[in-house]
Chain A
């Protein structure tokens, strides 16, 4: 079996987020005494860890949360950072990867659904820039949507990167030799990646089929207050 030409074997790269800035997506979902605090933002792992506590304190103070939240917030952030750092030293396998990124978020009154392809090898990619442009193009008024989109994109990229680390580790463990490792890209790599060769070979065209158009464009919904309440109640019930 001929290894597909797209699977050019690159030397494994040190783990990092495949974006221009090595930022970590942090998601917080803390509940104390019936009060729920959900948040998501990006954190720069190069900032010293001593910054976590003042940040947590400030958040608690400004949102007027009960003080029990402070410790939990700090712990959660630190554990997510620690996870990220634990991957940091390791190698990440780096094949040709175009992954679909899906957005399906509700932020206050805005619901956005979108799907697009993202190139994992482009280490210059910038989810923040993408989110900003998306909001501007869709004329989204709620300024909180942008960051939520950026964090969602980052999270998905993070997951894929983590899978890459795992696959790189497997490659190393199962030493099938050089020829074997060339086969890996086709078979072992997570199924989420699309094989570009199949998409873009001479038989099919680069233009997307009409039936896919609806999937790949952003859908924006503005909800009314009642809808928001309904959705929130449903989320809480499912979340418990």
Chain B
């Protein structure tokens, strides 16, 4: 990516247009120096520390009264909190503890930086800072480390006192924290993956801030993630109990998905290196040997190579098929292979194949459960399987029995499922019937009301008629009276 280039290049001295940002003491926002365009976008600048935190340029002499800050820390300002700070020091921003809030963070950060800038030529030590800040020392230390890492303090341009680069600062949990957070910063800053080994989202333990590798315990109620060690130790907040945690396995699916490209690389590597799984793992890029091996076994190879009469059908038999045709006792270098070859030669092909299949199946199952000690026992199991292969018939019987048991369990589960489904359907039917009933009632009511209205209408009509009649009657009597009056008068 373009953004990586300025740091990967050897520091070319471009003195006037240094990418170091020169800050006066009080001015918060740096002026953008006239530099190569790759550096200008701040998102790119944020991600550059992934390569090394070395600034791209050296400045010949520090001027008094001017503070140098590396270009990747350009986001810093006294008043604001940048999002990379939120990412790196989430404890202050996730309102989990009432006294760790952004204001406190700003207070720590600003006072540390102020202290440093009182005497920028000298490196400020954590202990001095800690003595002057009110608060729990480890949070202060985390802020201090963060600032040091980003060159906001103790950043002097002479190479001797440069802050520790990533490779050096591997001690302590903070760097582990930083490294994996850095990688997720990667993911944020650049949508596309870098050429470096894939940094997937790793689970960070909120207790000890280390990367969870084996198994993690997530508590959804309080949104915590703990590594196995912290969970066991009870190293979590007051108020959270054991039951709130559920176990989340770092299984192969979560960690890494085997894409086509990966599989291709794996196959290439195996073709080149055969049994040397270390090199294969390196070639594939970022997967452990075990992962490679297990994935390879799971690939649908077996059927194609069944025809090989001399092939070894031990645990890793399929890989040897891929390599070349081996006579049974040929590959004595790999002890497991040799043993498998020997046993299969003795026990006969079919049995050894069945044993291998069973071993692979259990391996797969055990993988899904994902704990390390299971693997060890699995290896033992697998070994036992291979040993059992040498006792011909008993193996077959046990296999069949296991098969039957498995089938029975499957059937039972299916029946269970069916029953449950039918139960659900019945409940829903009942609901629908109830609804229909209710609608019918509504209908009845509506009809009744309609009838009523009709009646009222007819009544109204009758009333109107009556009124009209009366009116006409009144009019007629009025006329008669008038006539009578006239006749009376006339008489």
Contacts and interface: CB of A to CB of B under 8 A. Distances in A.
A143 B236 contact: no
A59 B97 CA distance: 27
Nearest to B208: A48
Interface in B227-259: 230, 235-238
Contact of A146 (B127, B133, B235): B133
Interface string B89-102: 00000000111100
B98 A21 contact: yes
Interface string B163-201: 000000001110000000000000000000000000000
Q: Which 7 interchain pairs have the tightest Cβ spacing?
A: A143-B132, A62-B125, A48-B208, A146-B134, A62-B127, A44-B136, A128-B134
Contact of A128 (B99, B128, B130, B138): B99
A128 B127 contact: no
A59 B138 CA distance: 12
Interface string B126-154: 11101111111111010000000000000
B99 A126 contact: yes
Contacts of B97: 20-21
A47 B205 CA distance: 11
Interface residues of A, number: 34
Interface in A93-134: 124, 126, 128-129, 131-132
Nearest to B142: A47
A41 B130 contact: yes
B207 interface: yes
Contact of B171 (A46, A54, A124, A146): A54
A144 B136 contact: no
B282 interface: no
A22 B238 contact: yes
B134 A48 contact: no
Interface string B51-95: 000000000000000000000000000000000000000000000
Interface string A22-55: 1100000000000000010111101110110011
Contacts of B99: 20-21, 126, 128-129
A131 B107 CA distance: 14
Contacts, number: 86
B426 interface: no
B472 interface: no
A14 B238 contact: yes
Q: Which of B136, B207, B209, B238 has the most CB of A within 10 A?
A: B136
A41 B137 contact: yes
A46 B98 contact: no
Contact of B98 (A20, A59, A149): A20
B111 interface: yes
Nearest to B127: A62
A231 B234 CA distance: 45
Interface in A123-166: 124, 126, 128-129, 131-132, 143-144, 146-147, 149-150
Nearest to A19: B99
Interface in A200-219: none
13 contacts: A20-B97, A43-B136, A46-B207, A48-B208, A50-B173, A51-B138, A55-B141, A59-B127, A62-B125, A62-B128, A129-B99, A131-B134, A143-B132
Interface of B: 97-100, 107, 111, 115, 125-128, 130-139, 141, 171-173, 207-209, 230, 235-238
Q: Which of A23, A47, A63 has the most CB of B within 10 A?
A: A47
B134 A147 contact: yes
Nearest to A65: B127
A58 B208 contact: no
A48 B235 contact: yes
A20 B209 CA distance: 22
Contacts of A47: 138, 208
B92 to A, nearest CB: 12
Q: Which of B111, B115, B126, B133 has the most CB of A within 10 A?
A: B133
Nearest to A63: B127
Contacts of A54: 171-172
A199 B309 CA distance: 98
A92 B127 CA distance: 34
A55 B111 contact: no
Given A58-B126, A62-B128, A126-B99, A132 B134 contact: yes
A124 B100 CA distance: 13
Contacts of A20: 97-99
A12 to B, nearest CB: 15
Contacts of B135: 42, 128, 147, 150
Nearest to B141: A55
A39 B100 CA distance: 23
A85 to B, nearest CB: 10
B20 to A, nearest CB: 26
Contacts of A147: 130-135
A150 B100 CA distance: 16
A62 B148 CA distance: 15
Contacts of A132: 107, 134
Contacts of A124: 98
B236 A46 contact: yes
Contacts of B98: 20-21, 124, 126
A51 B164 CA distance: 19
Interface string A57-86: 011001100000000000000000000000
A59 B144 CA distance: 14
A131 B99 CA distance: 13
Nearest to B98: A20
Contacts of B100: 21
Nearest to B124: A62
B132 A144 contact: yes
Contacts of B230: 48
A42 B100 CA distance: 14
